[in-house]
Structure 1
Amino acid sequence: MNYTLHQLQVFQKVVETGSITKAAEVLHLTQPAVSIQLRNFQDQFDIPLTEVLGRKIHITDFGKEIATLAENIISQVQAIDSRTMAYKGQLSGRLKIAVVSTGKYVMPYFLGEFMKKHPGVELQMDVTNKSKVITSLEKNEIDFALLSILPNGINLDYLDILDNNLYLVGNSDAGDHKNISPDEIFMEMPLIFREKGSGTRQIMEKFIEGSKISIQKKMELTSNEAVKQAVLAGLGFSIMPLIGIKNELASKQLRIISVPGLPITTKWRLVWLKGKKHLPLPTAYLEYLQKEKGLIAERYFGEVRG
């Protein structure tokens, strides 16, 4: 047999994602390139590694065993690279972070300078919904997660990195609502919610319950970007993190509506499993954040911190 490390990496990623298309995206390759590498790898075995049923690729039991071995080999190669870089006094390896969808407006700024200082470091950042972020935490698949609301039932350590301020917002056609009660506002237009399980949804529901507001109509959308577009289109109001709408506020496409009890302030927190033994790379990143988080927040978020 004469398979290459690249073929092992391609096969392992196909198994991990369950899709040639997704594997190609992660590896920054074209689909034909992934298919060719997968076929060349398969040609070296008399036993099928995969089978295609309908339009979906399935991994055989033998293929799953080979994928496990491939993952071990890839990890050992990465360890060799890391050890070599360490002897040169350089950090290397892969930093794995899962981020709730609104956190995409935050996390890159707390990574930029660190990544520039350490060119041997690879970043794997998954921007997804809160439930998937929590699952990744529970399975210990990541080094860190970025959340604004800590989940119940998981022992976590965390580092506060930025205030998360949430306001009621409407589009530019929203009238002046000074001296109008929240009930009157929400009778005019629907309140637009994120999906169940979202941190922003939890904050909205807690505010509504505490304020004893009657909601006449409501809509539910599955991403912060979708909510923002719906508000811009005049479909309703929403309680939204300031961090994700600062450009629309500056251009006067959106406006903050003043109501008692708002804004609500939570914290953007970098979290990890309590007792987790970090490798040198995530340890170095955590030390970097502890030292630099204030300067980063002031530099990039000074105008939206309160």
Structure 2
Amino acid sequence: MNYTLHQLQVYLKIVETKSITKAAIELFLTQPAVSIQFKNFQGQFDIPLIEVVGKQVYITDFGNEIAEMAERIILEVYAINYKTLTYKGILSGRLKLAIVSTGKYIMPYFLSDFLQKHTSIELTMDVTNKSKVIDSLEKNEVDFGLVSVLPDDLNVEEEVLLENHLYLVGNKKSDYNKGPYQRSIFNEISMIYREQGSGTRAVMEKFFETRKLQVRKKLELTSNEAVKQAVLAGLGYSIMPLIGIHTELETGELRVIPVSGLPVKSAWRLIWRKGKKFSPVAQAFLNDIRENKTRILKNNFEWVNRF
């Protein structure tokens, strides 16, 4: 056997993406370069690592076992590098986060100063929906998750970062520009929903169910950004977190429509598995948030209180 660390990294990316093309894109390499590296790696085994059916890549059972061992090897290499830096008094390692899609408007502000102070830390942040965040925590794939709705069936601890206010929102051409309106407004307008598994969707549906409101669902979209663009285009209305529409509210492209019972309030929470043993990097990050949260909120999120 004469495989290289680069070959292991390329193979792991193929396993992760189930595609040589996607692996090439994520590794910033050309597709031929990835194909050559994989061919050289596969050439050291008599058993196929992958099978290609049509254009779809499938990982064989043997390939999955090799991937697990390859990942352990790569992690040990990282550990060597981190240990070296630790002996020099430099905080280093990986910080792994999974955050709900709307969290991308929040999390960078809690990461910026920390990562600037500790330049040897590598950040991995998966921006997804609530269901996948919880799944990543359950599988212990990440240090922290960021959600606005706590999971029902996972024992977690939390650090509240910021209040989450959700309002009914329409575009600048909306006929509803006075108010406040009664909840009967929802009988008149078409609503745009997030997908199943979204925390925003869960909060919105709970609001409708507890008040026994009949709502016309016009569209279902898979990200806060997609919902925002649909509302901007005049395709309907939605109950949205303020945090993701700051610019559009300031420019007047979107407007908050005051309705009795709104806003719905929850909170953005950094969560982790109860009893989780933190790495030095994860513990340092949590300590940094607790020490600097008040300053971060004052400098970046005071505008929320105007609504």
The AA in structure 1 aligned to 2:251 is: S
* Aligned counterparts of 2:226 and 2:85: Cα–Cα separation in 1: 43
Please report how far the alpha carbon of residue 13 of structure 1 lies from its aligned counterpart in structure 2 after TM superposition: 2.2
Compared CA separation, residues 54 and 216, structure 1 to 2 (3 A): closer
In structure 2, the partner of 1:137 is 137
* 3-state SS of paired residue (1:167): strand
Moved more, 32-41 or 22-31: 22-31
**Alpha-carbon displacement from aligned partner over 1:16-70 (angstroms, at most 9, x marks no partner):** 3322233334333333322221112122333332222211222233322222221
In structure 2, the partner of 1:303 is 303
Pairs aligned (count): 305
Please report how far the alpha carbon of residue 122 of structure 1 lies from its aligned counterpart in structure 2 after TM superposition: 1.0
In structure 1, the partner of 2:103 is 103
* 3-state SS of paired residue (1:13): helix
* 3-state SS of paired residue (1:259): coil
In structure 2, the partner of 1:196 is 196
In structure 1, the partner of 2:182 is 181
The AA in structure 2 aligned to 1:73 is: I
Moved more, 53-62 or 225-234: 53-62
Q: Is the 8 A contact 1:95 1:122 kept in 2?
A: yes
* 3-state SS of paired residue (1:57): strand
* 3-state SS of paired residue (1:111): helix
The AA in structure 1 aligned to 2:254 is: L
* 3-state SS of paired residue (1:39): helix
* Aligned counterparts of 2:180 and 2:52: Cα–Cα separation in 1: 64
> Structure 1 length as normaliser, TM-score?
0.94
The AA in structure 2 aligned to 1:24 is: A
The AA in structure 1 aligned to 2:171 is: N
Please report how far the alpha carbon of residue 179 of structure 1 lies from its aligned counterpart in structure 2 after TM superposition: 4.7
Please report how far the alpha carbon of residue 90 of structure 1 lies from its aligned counterpart in structure 2 after TM superposition: 1.0
* Aligned counterparts of 2:78 and 2:269: Cα–Cα separation in 1: 29
* Aligned counterparts of 1:155 and 1:235: Cα–Cα separation in 2: 39
* 3-state SS of paired residue (1:77): helix
Q: Is the 8 A contact 2:166 2:241 kept in 1?
A: yes
Give the root-mean-square deviation of aligned CA atoms: 1.7
* Aligned counterparts of 1:305 and 1:135: Cα–Cα separation in 2: 33
In structure 1, the partner of 2:30 is 30
Q: Is the 8 A contact 2:193 2:217 kept in 1?
A: no
The AA in structure 1 aligned to 2:94 is: R
The AA in structure 2 aligned to 1:88 is: K
Q: Does 1:291 align with 2:291?
A: yes
Q: Does 1:51 align with 2:17?
A: no
Q: Is the 8 A contact 1:172 1:253 kept in 2?
A: yes
Compared CA separation, residues 29 and 108, structure 1 to 2 (3 A): farther
* Aligned counterparts of 1:154 and 1:302: Cα–Cα separation in 2: 32
Q: 5 Å matches for 1:1-306?
A: 1-175=1-175, 176-183=177-184, 185-305=185-305
* 3-state SS of paired residue (2:149): coil
Please report how far the alpha carbon of residue 181 of structure 1 lies from its aligned counterpart in structure 2 after TM superposition: 2.0
The AA in structure 2 aligned to 1:182 is: R
The AA in structure 2 aligned to 1:220 is: E
> Structure 2 length as normaliser, TM-score?
0.93
The AA in structure 1 aligned to 2:220 is: E
Please report how far the alpha carbon of residue 102 of structure 1 lies from its aligned counterpart in structure 2 after TM superposition: 0.9
Moved more, 38-47 or 121-130: 38-47
Q: Is the 8 A contact 1:194 1:220 kept in 2?
A: yes
* Aligned counterparts of 2:298 and 2:60: Cα–Cα separation in 1: 52
Moved more, 51-60 or 162-171: 51-60
Compared CA separation, residues 124 and 186, structure 1 to 2 (3 A): same
Please report how far the alpha carbon of residue 257 of structure 1 lies from its aligned counterpart in structure 2 after TM superposition: 0.6
Please report how far the alpha carbon of residue 182 of structure 1 lies from its aligned counterpart in structure 2 after TM superposition: 2.4
* 3-state SS of paired residue (1:186): helix
Compared CA separation, residues 63 and 299, structure 1 to 2 (3 A): same
